[in-house]
Structure 1
Amino acid sequence: MTIQRIVIGLVQNHQNHYLISLRQGDQHLAGKWEFPGGKAEAGEDELTALARELEEEVGLEMTQAELMERKVFEFDDRTLELHFFRVTGYRGEAHAREGQPLKWASVEELRALPFPKANDSVIAVL
């Protein structure tokens, strides 16, 4: 089984809210909330992949990010190498470029909403 490298951006605004979106019906873990991000392509470093994913998914130009956590998470059908970044600098206004529900959520909301289990540790330290 191959390992997929996944980059995840915890995009924080000036009100200390984080950008999240709802996974759609045909996606793995549909109905769960997630931070924006996606698969790193072959030969692409994690920061480059994150900048590309943020532009593609939510229309933001990332200017500053730092790695918060890296971990391997195994599902029955796949293994993911997750790279969680705190995004502290960006330009633009977030909008759903893939039709997904999008919202800014406080840390309290993040803790109450359904997220994939792999997110628990980073949400706990926010």
Structure 2
Amino acid sequence: MSDARKHTEVAVGILIRADGALLLSTRPEGKPYAGYWEFPGGKLEAGETVEQALRRELHEELGIEIGAAEVWKVTEHDYPHALVRLHWCKVRAWRGEFEMREGQQMCWQQLPLEVTPVLPGALPVLAWMAEERGLAALAATPPAA
């Protein structure tokens, strides 16, 4: 990995419904990995905190106002188009009706997810969520060949 590549800072919302279901949406047409399922969020703009960026992005993408959002985990993923640092925030409170403002699809999913393909950067977080919920089989890494 070259030090010349700059990280893109991204705020990501893991919206968790009262029954434990997670909100996923598809990447819009025209973006890298269009049609892949992901947790909603987006890039931090200059001067924004992670929570401010997440609040703005979820309003722009989904039409909702979120409650408190604190960073739970931070991961990095090296995509062909961008080196991203993902700031994962669990969100349990929001107001408003969901509107898919970028033409994306959304769905609520329990673990294990039924939707595919899932954006590669989300896979570690799904494993941690499974581990937290005692779903060890989902969290386990496959044995080496």
State the TM-score, normalized to the length of structure 1: 0.89
Task: Give the structure with the higher percent strand.
Answer: 1
Structure 2 distance, partners of 1:75, 1:59, is 28
Structure 2 distance, partners of 1:107, 1:66, is 22
The alpha carbon displacement at 1:40 in A equals 0.6
- In structure 2, stretches of 5+ residues that fail to align are 130-145
- In structure 1, stretches of 5+ residues that fail to align are none
Structure 1 distance, partners of 2:111, 2:95, is 22
Other-structure match for 1:24: 28
User: Which amino acid in 2 is paired with 1:74?
Assistant: D
Instruction: Say if 1:40 and 1:46, in contact at 8 Å, map to a contact too.
Output: yes
Question: Pick from 103, 119, 123: which aligns with 1:120?
Answer: 123
Other-structure match for 2:7: 3
Structure 1 distance, partners of 2:79, 2:12, is 17
Instruction: Say if 2:13 and 2:90, in contact at 8 Å, map to a contact too.
Output: yes
SS in 2 for 1:107: coil
The alpha carbon displacement at 1:72 in A equals 2.0
Structure 2 distance, partners of 1:109, 1:79, is 25
Q: CA RMSD in A?
A: 1.5
SS in 1 for 2:29: coil
Other-structure match for 2:132: none
Structure 1 distance, partners of 2:26, 2:79, is 20
SS in 1 for 2:112: helix
The alpha carbon displacement at 1:15 in A equals 2.2
Deviation digits for residues 8-36 of structure 1, max 9, x if unmatched? 10011122111111113321112210111
SS in 1 for 2:87: strand
State the TM-score, normalized to the length of structure 2: 0.79
The alpha carbon displacement at 1:91 in A equals 1.3
Q: Which runs of 4+ in 1 moved over 2 A?
A: none
Other-structure match for 1:58: 62
Deviation digits for residues 57-90 of structure 1, max 9, x if unmatched? 1011111222221122212332111111111121
